[in-house]
Amino acid sequence: MKKASYHNKKAFSLVEVLLAIGLFSFIVLAFAGALAFSIQGNADASQTTKATYLAMEGIEASKLIRGEDFSNLIDGSYGLSSVSNVWSFSGSNDITDEYTRQITISSISSLIKQVDSTVTWNSLSGRTNTITFSTYLTDWQYEVEPPEPSPGWTQPIVVNTVNATGNQDAQDIFVVGTNAYIVRTSGTNLLVYDLSNVNSPSLLGSTNAGSGGLYRIVVNGNYAYVASDSNSEEVQIFNISNPASLLKVATVNLSGNNNATSLTIQGNYLYVVRNGGNADFAIVDITNPLSPSVSGYANINNGTDVKVNGNYAYVASDSNNQELQVVNVTSKSSPSGLGSLNIGGNNDAESIVFYNDRVIIGTTDGEVHIINVSTPATPSLVSTTAIGTSNIRDMELGYTNSYLFTVGDSAASEFIVANISNENSVIVLGIVDETSGLNGISYNSVNDIAYVASDEDSQEIIIYGPTN
């Protein structure tokens, strides 16, 4: 019996040893995995820090190049080089280690350029990352103190109107320098006017090449990007370098059949929102406008308008509980919803503008909602003011973001100017009653003029100014 007892004890000890070895191996592997994950995380953070530095350096270098001569800022995409501590644009990008940097310059007006500094790199995990910093640079020879708000906007007047051929409604207007680009729902649906003399506008060119109804337009360099309700051409791109010969050079067919409602540009990317279902937020790579490609989609609820700042897109929506939606666009291939805000009630958000760490949403009940987005994941409502009675379809800021110009179809107040310098006490300054609804607006701060797209058949463009 002792012999039997001796063998049983020996077998039990062997099992214990095997279990101990297995447990020890598991602990070692777990520790090694955690250590590797920590090392990779630190490495990714280090890469992001360096990419941020390179992007910021790109902005500062562009400022120095502008300082030499504003004419050095020519629309296009460039790399940077430094010889004897003097920066210059060189090639289409520049590469430092695993980082590719590109500076994109686009005209806002004859005296203002938008500069986007974008850095792209592959992380240790193989994921492609992008970071963008943006700024506006003015011609320093013409820089002046921002003008004092004109008291004449308490009584805005119609300076002039333009009757475009046909009876189609003008949906949107985008003014660059002295040229105004207008889109309409059908027929001759893209037109370009010279407005250098607002008292005598002249048609430079037009085309009916657009497919479906054209609803929103942004212009960047030699190209106009248009949002459409065409199921196969939600985005349409036109070469506008020669207004007398406007050419549609490319289109983008987004997933599904939802209509494109609005779009905006930052750097080499076009951000598009749609209204109808999944994949309603799209990022389109327009590095080569002749060959655009969809980079990625995100699911949002019924986008109506969009603005982008840095790594975040701010979307106005007709969703009853998410009138503002924030999308993280750091990854162009995988944009993702980050936060949202329910402003209350059942009225839809139709338009949006961005300044500093604020966004303003215009809604179908004629209200403007100022929202704090200093923490994009958790936007918070600052104030709500009723400035009209119904739809605010588009908005623009003026006078260093102290004035808000809005258009819509509010009864007796289609055009509205409001003072928002005190965000907790928005004041309506002046209104104009039109016979038809107004759809789009482009404000020129140099001339202190608001150009508006109208439903009125005899005045598709209305030009507003302050009373002298």
**Pick from 142, 174, 194: which residue ends a domain?**
142
Residue 42 has pLDDT above 80, yes or no: no
> 29-38, 272-281, 313-322: which has the minimum mean pLDDT?
29-38
Same domain, 334 and 459: yes
Same domain, 182 and 138: no
Same domain, 208 and 268: yes
Residue 240 has pLDDT above 90, yes or no: yes
Averaged over 458-463, what is the pLDDT? 94
pLDDT value, residue 30: 54
Same domain, 131 and 157: no
pLDDT value, residue 54: 93
pLDDT value, residue 48: 85
**Pick from 113, 142, 171: which residue ends a domain?**
142
pLDDT-derived band at 330, boundaries 50, 70, 90: very high
Helix or strand or coil: residue 58? helix
Averaged over 248-257, what is the pLDDT? 93
Same domain, 370 and 420: yes
Check the CA dihedral 132-136-139-143 and report its sign: negative
Same domain, 115 and 183: no
pLDDT-derived band at 11, boundaries 50, 70, 90: very low
Domain count, the chain: 2
Beta strands 76-83 and 86-90: pairing type?
A: antiparallel
CATH number of the domain residue 448 falls in: 2.130.10.10
CA distance 293 to 280: 16
Same domain, 33 and 124: yes
Question: In 247-372, which ranges are E strands?
Answer: 247-252, 259-266, 269-275, 281-285, 293-298, 303-309, 312-317, 324-328, 336-341, 349-355, 358-363, 367-372
Same domain, 187 and 124: no
Percent of the chain past pLDDT 70, that is, above it, reads 88
Identify whether the C-beta of residue 443 lies closer than 8 Å to the C-beta of residue 396.
Answer: yes
Same domain, 175 and 304: yes
Half-sphere exposure at residue 371, Cβ-oriented, CA atoms within 13 angstroms: 31
Residue 12 has pLDDT above 90, yes or no: no
Q: Which residue has the tokens 């995380």?
A: 41
pLDDT value, residue 1: 41
pLDDT value, residue 21: 62
Averaged over 46-74, what is the pLDDT? 88
Identify whether the C-beta of residue 277 lies closer than 8 Å to the C-beta of residue 255.
Answer: no
Same domain, 50 and 160: no
Residue 14 has pLDDT above 70, yes or no: no
Same domain, 80 and 177: no
What are the backbone dihedrals phi and psi of residue 396, each rounded to the nearest 5 degrees, phi first?
-145, 150
Residue 424 has pLDDT above 50, yes or no: yes
Q: What is the pLDDT of residues 123-175, one digit of tens each?
A: 877 788 888 888 888 775 654 455 577 889 999 999 999 999 888 899 999 99
Four-CA torsion 369, 370, 376, 380, nearest 10 degrees: -80
Q: How many CB atoms neighbour CB 136 within 10 A? A: 10
Residue 27 amino acid letter: I
pLDDT-derived band at 16, boundaries 50, 70, 90: low
Same domain, 187 and 118: no
**Pick from 142, 173, 207: which residue ends a domain?**
142
Averaged over 372-387, what is the pLDDT? 96
Q: How many CB atoms neighbour CB 20 within 10 A? A: 10
Tokens of 206: 């037009």
pLDDT-derived band at 10, boundaries 50, 70, 90: very low
Domain of 134?
Answer: 2-142
Q: What is the pLDDT of residues 66-94, one digit of tens each?
A: 888 888 899 899 999 988 878 999 999 99
